[in-house]
Structure 1
Amino acid sequence: MEISWLLLPLVYIIAALALISKIIPKQNLNPKLPPGPKPWPLIGNFNLIGSIPHQSLHFLSQKYGGIMLLKFGKFPVVVASSPEIAKQFLKIHDTVFASRPALAAGKYLSYNYSDMSFAPYGPYWRQTRKIFLSEVFNARKLESFEHVRMEEMHNFLSHLCSLSGKRVVLRDHLMRFTLSSISRIVLGYKYFSESEHEKSIIKLDELIGLLDEWFFLTGVFNIGDWIPWLNFLDLQGYVKKMKDLRKKLDRFLNHVIDDHLDRRNEEKGLNSKDVVDKLLQLAEDPNLEVKLTRDCVKALVQNLLLGGIDTSATTVEWTIHEILRHPCVLQRAKEELDRVIGRNRWVEENDFSQLPYIDAIIMESIRLHPLATLLAPHYSVEDCKVAGYDISKGTMVLINTWSIGRDPTSWDKPEEFLPERFLSKEIDMLGSNFALLPFGSGRRRCPGYNLGLNVVRTTLANLLHGFELKLVEGMNSEDICVKEEYGLTTHPKEPLEIILEPTLSFDLY
C-alpha cells in the first residue's frame, strides 16, 4: 500500500506529460524540404539573384525543378516554376498561402499594408476585395464607364493621327491614354496638366514618372527585408527612395481627397459620382467590419490608379514589339479586322467575340511577356505539405509566371511567338489554367481583369486597324529589342520608336 502511494505522483506526472504531448504539436525534426542551392552564411542565396530576378530563378529551376527552396538571409523562400506546383499554392492550398509578407514596399508605399495588393489576408483584405468587386468592377459599373473609355480612346487615336509621319515613342502615348481613362473613372477628373498653360497640382510627365518609380520600387529585392540587422543601413538606398516617393504621391492623393470632400460639402446630398466619392461614403459607414481611415482610402485609390494604368499600357507595348518582329502576324490581324469591322468604323468592346486572332495575339504576348513575371509574393500562415514537401509557417512563395509561360510540357516551341497556338483550343486567362496566369489565381486573383482586358483589346485592335505601323528608317524587325527592365511589372528595356500612318477615312479620327 505504501509503495502504491509513492507511485501515485509518478503516475500523475506520466499522464500529464502524455496529455501535453497530444496538445502540443510535435516538431518535425527531419522535414522533407524542396531541393535548392546551398545557402551562404548570413546572405543565404542572394548571391544567385541577378538584376533580372525572374530569369535568375528560371535558370535555377532548370537545375532544381518546379518547386525550389532558397534562403533570403535567414528566411525560407519557395519558388514555383511549373503549372502543377503553382496550382498547389494558388488552388489546393490557397487558404494557407493567401497572405502577404511584411516587406518594406508595402509599409512605405501602400500606407502600412492598407491597399488590397499588400494587405495581409484577413477581415480588412476581405472587406476591400468585396468593395472592389461590388462597387468598382461589377458588370454594371464597367458598362456605365464605357463612354469614358471610348471618349479617351478617340482622343488617343486623334492625337496619334496628328503625329502622322513623325517618330513616336508609343509607350509615352499609351501611358497618357491609360492614365487619362483610369483617372476619369476612379477620380472623376484628370488632376494633372498636359501642357504648360494648364494649372494643376502635378504635370502629366511627373505623375507618370512617379507611377513608374512605384512599380520599380515595389518589385525590388530589398536586402533589409531579409537581413533585418542590416536594415538601418539601407545599403541599396531603396527605403530612402520609397519614403521620398511616398511623400510625393501622398501630396497628390491628399489633394484629390480634399477636393472631393470640398465638393461634397458644397453639394449637399451629392450621390457618389466616381470611385473616390464611393470610398469616402463608405468611410462614414458605421456598419463596416473594419473602419476605412483616410490612409485606407488613399491606399485603395492608389491601388486602382496603378493597377489600371501601367499593366494595360505595358501589355499593349510588348504586343506591338512582337507584332512588328513578325510581319506575317500583323498581316493576318489586319485581314481579320478588315473582314469583321470593315473600313468605316472603329473597333468596339462588343466586337471581340468575332476577333479570335486578335485575342490569340494578346494571349501569346501575355504568355511570353507576362504582366507580372513574379506574382506578388504569397506567404504561408501555417505549416503545410506541398507536393510531398514540408513548407514551414512564415515561408514566402514566389510564382514565376515567366518560367511557367516557357514550360515545355505545357507549350510547344515555348520561346517562339505563335498566336496560332490559341486558335485550336480554349485556354482560360482568368486563373483556372495554371499554364497562363496573367491575373494570378485563387483568392488573390486581380479583381480588375475585365477592365484591363477591355482596355488592352480595344487599344491594340484600333492601333492595328487605324494605322500602318512602320519602323524608323534604318531599322528592321530583327533590331527590335525584347530585353527586359525588371519591376513589379516588367517593361521592354528599350522603348520602341515607330512611325504611324493613318489608314482609315480622316473623318473617323
Structure 2
Amino acid sequence: MELGAYYSMVMSNLMLVLTVSMVSATYLLMRKMRGKKRLPPGPGLALPLVGHLHLLREKPLHVTLAGLAARHGPVLSLRLGRRDAVVVTSLRLAKECFSTELDVNFANRPRFPSAREVSFGYTGLSAASYGPHWRSMRRIATVHLLSARRVDLMSDATIAGETGAMVRRLARAAAAASGGVTRVELKRNLFELSHGVLMEAIAGAKGTRDGSDADMSKEAHEFKKVVDEIVPLLGMANLHDHLPGPLRWLDFGGVRRRLTELVNRRNALMHGLIDAERQRRPQEDHATDELLPESKSMIGVMLSLQESDPQQYTDTFIAALVTVSTPPPTGSSCTFTTK
C-alpha cells in the first residue's frame, strides 16, 4: 500500500473515531444537564442529538402540538436538539405566564445561532434581550419611526400607490390566463403590498422604480428576495440551530454558509440605502427637517438623530432598527376575475 493511501485511510478512521466520541460525549452531557432541570412531563422517546424534533415533522405545527398536549397534558416539555422547550396550550396558563408579575421572565426570545446572524448580533428590536438597549430602541421606534402622524401619512399616498401596484399584478395574471380567470396566492400579494409600503417608509424607495408602471423598486425587490430565502433557514426550520456547538461547525446542509451569504447581501443593501439617503440630505439648512420630520423616510429620521449622537446612532444601529424581517406567506389562494 502506498504511503499516501495509508495516510488517507488513517486520517479517515481517526476522523470517524473523533466524530463518534464527540457525539457520544455531547449526548451524555446533555442527558446529565437535563436531569437537573425541573420540567413538566413530555414524550418519552427523545432521540440522540435531535431530541423530539422528529415528532414535529407533520404540518401544521399547532395541530401536532395539540395532539401532544392531548396525550401529555396542557403543559409539556420537548427537547429540541440541545434545547429544552416548554409548550403551554392552556389559555388560562398562557395568560398567567404573561401577567404583570411574570411577563419579564418570558420577554426574551431564544438565542438561535441563525438569529444572531440575521439580527446584527441580537441587537435588533425583535431579538434583543429585555433591558436598556431594547427599551431605547423601542422608544426610538415609537416616538420617531412609528408615530401616529407618520402612520397617517403612510395610510394615504403610499398605501394607495402600493395597492395600485398589487391590482396591476393581479390584472396581468388574470389577463394572461384563458377566460380572464386565474387562481392567485392572495397572501403572497398582500405580503408584497405590505412589503412595498414598509420599504417606501424605510427608504423612500419609490423613486428608484424602473418606470412609472413598475410594481416594486429595485431595492424592495432585492430585499424581498433575500427575505424569501432567509426565512426558511431560521429557528425551527433548520437542524443547525438545535445541534450542540461542536456539531454546528460541521455545517450540516450548508445552512450556516448560505445564511452568511444572504445576510451579507441584506447588509450591503441596507448600508447602500443609508448611504444613498445620506447623500440626498440637504447640507445647508435643516429647518425643514425639524418642522416636518414625518415627511422623511425612517432612515432620514435616524440620520438626523445620528448628527446629534453619532456614537449611539451608528449605521449598524440604524440598519438593525429599520430592517424588516417579514416571513413570506404561503398556502392561501383566491380566484380573481377581470371583466
* TM-score where L is the length of structure 1: 0.50
Shift of 1:251: 1.7
**Is it true that 1:44 corresponds to 2:47 in the alignment?**
no
Letter in 2 for 1:229: P
1:169 corresponds, among 179, 184, 188, to 184
Structure 2 partner of 1:343: none
Letter in 2 for 1:126: R
Correspondence 1:252-271 to 2 at 5 A: 252-264=269-281, 266=283, 268-269=285-286, 271=289
Distance 1:30 1:205 in 2: 49
Is residue 120–residue 320 contact of structure 2 (8 Å, CA) maintained in 1?
yes
Distance 1:244 1:30 in 2: 39
Distance 1:121 1:154 in 2: 40
Structure 1 partner of 2:9: none
1:277 corresponds, among 294, 300, 312, to 300
Is residue 183–residue 334 contact of structure 2 (8 Å, CA) maintained in 1?
yes
Structure 1 partner of 2:148: 139
Is residue 108–residue 246 contact of structure 1 (8 Å, CA) maintained in 2?
yes
- Cα distance change, pair 55–235 in 1 and its aligned pair in 2 (3 A): farther
Structure 1 partner of 2:134: 125
* TM-score where L is the length of structure 2: 0.72
Is residue 205–residue 220 contact of structure 2 (8 Å, CA) maintained in 1?
no
- Cα distance change, pair 191–253 in 1 and its aligned pair in 2 (3 A): farther
Structure 1 partner of 2:32: none
1:64 corresponds, among 50, 62, 72, to 72
Structure 2 partner of 1:90: 98
Structure 1 partner of 2:25: none
Correspondence 1:362-373 to 2 at 5 A: none
- Cα distance change, pair 191–244 in 1 and its aligned pair in 2 (3 A): farther
- Cα distance change, pair 222–43 in 1 and its aligned pair in 2 (3 A): closer
- Cα distance change, pair 204–115 in 1 and its aligned pair in 2 (3 A): closer
- Cα distance change, pair 496–192 in 1 and its aligned pair in 2 (3 A): farther
- In structure 1, stretches of 5+ residues that fail to align are 1-28, 315-490, 503-509
Is residue 170–residue 336 contact of structure 2 (8 Å, CA) maintained in 1?
no
Distance 1:191 1:107 in 2: 32
**Is it true that 1:301 corresponds to 2:322 in the alignment?**
yes
RMSD (CA atoms):
3.3
Distance 1:191 1:57 in 2: 46
- Cα distance change, pair 227–173 in 1 and its aligned pair in 2 (3 A): same
Distance 2:71 2:207 in 1: 50
SS of the residue aligned with 2:335? strand
Higher RCO (CA-CA < 8 Å; seq separation 6+): 1
Letter in 1 for 2:280: R
Shift of 1:102: 1.8
1:465-503, Cα deviation, whole Å (9 max, x unpaired): xxxxxxxxxxxxxxxxxxxxxxxxxx21xx63633235x
Is residue 260–residue 277 contact of structure 1 (8 Å, CA) maintained in 2?
yes
Letter in 2 for 1:236: G
Shift of 1:135: 2.0
Is residue 43–residue 72 contact of structure 1 (8 Å, CA) maintained in 2?
yes
Letter in 2 for 1:499: F
Shift of 1:268: 4.1
Distance 1:194 1:498 in 2: 29
Correspondence 1:425-436 to 2 at 5 A: none
Shift of 1:302: 1.2
2:312 corresponds, among 291, 294, 314, to 291
Structure 2 partner of 1:108: 117
Shift of 1:139: 2.2
Correspondence 1:424-503 to 2 at 5 A: 491-492=330-331, 496=333, 498-501=335-338
Higher helix share: 2
- In structure 2, stretches of 5+ residues that fail to align are 1-34
Letter in 2 for 1:108: E
How many residues align? The count is 287
1:189 corresponds, among 205, 213, 216, to 205
- Cα distance change, pair 105–134 in 1 and its aligned pair in 2 (3 A): same
Structure 1 partner of 2:85: 77
Which moves more between the two structures, 246-255 or 56-65?
56-65
Distance 1:154 1:205 in 2: 16
Is residue 45–residue 71 contact of structure 1 (8 Å, CA) maintained in 2?
yes
